[in-house]
Structure formats: C-alpha cells, structure tokens
Amino acid sequence: MIDNGAMKFDTEKPRMELLDPEFLEEFAKVMTFGAQKYAAHNWRKGLSASRLIGAAMRHLTAILRGEDIDPESGYSHTAHVACCVQFLYWTLKHKPETDDRFKLPSA
C-alpha cells in the first residue's frame, strides 16, 4: 500500500480490494441470470436452507465430475456455488424460520 502521508482511518474496515474482480464479475453474471429467470431479489422472499444447500451441492458435484460451466446458464459452476452460499448466509441470518437442516437432538 502506498502511503503519501495522508491519514485514512480504515484499518478496521474490510479490505474490499482483496476480492477478485474477475470472480465478482462472473458472480454478478450469475446473479443477473437468476434475476432474469426468477426476478431480482426473489431469493430474499425465503428459501429453505436445505434447498440452498442442495443447489450448492449439485453445482459442487458437477465440478467434481469435471464440468466447469453450467449448461443452462453458460456460467461457471463455482459462481453458482457462490450465489447459493450468499443466499444461504443471508437466509440463515435474516430468515431463521426457513432453517430446516437436520439437527441431532441435544444430549
């Protein structure tokens, strides 16, 4: 980081410059594809955690099989996984009532 003597109190802030712009662009393309298919922010209405996990796992399984590009969208399976993870993160935080994951009973 170049420091020319100016003060900037941002050491506690997230380092957004560490994010890969190429990945962010592919991620945005998948989000745009989803917005056209379902409607923008449709996922915020609430999807069960298990469905989001299942979707992420299907994309991961495709990657394990050696398939890099989702045939329906034409975009990277890894970007689709990122979308699923974003949806899951948001859902667990803001719609906990949709958390239908199997949990072992407490001992």
Q: Is 50 part of any domain?
A: yes
pTM, two decimals, is: 0.87
Q: Is residue 89 part of a domain?
A: yes
Q: Which structure tokens are listed for 98?
A: 């949709």
Range of the domain at 94: 44-98
pLDDT tens per residue across all 107 residues of the chain: 566 778 878 888 999 999 999 999 999 999 999 999 999 999 999 999 999 999 999 999 999 999 999 999 999 999 999 999 999 999 999 999 999 999 899 86
Q: Is residue 86 domain-resident?
A: yes
Neighbours of 20 (CB within 10 A): 9
- Flag whether 63 is in a domain: yes
Question: Is 7 a member of any domain?
Answer: no
Domain count across the chain: 1
Is 9 contained in some domain?
Answer: no
Q: Return all residues near 69 (Cβ < 8 A) that are at least 6 apart.
A: 75, 76, 77
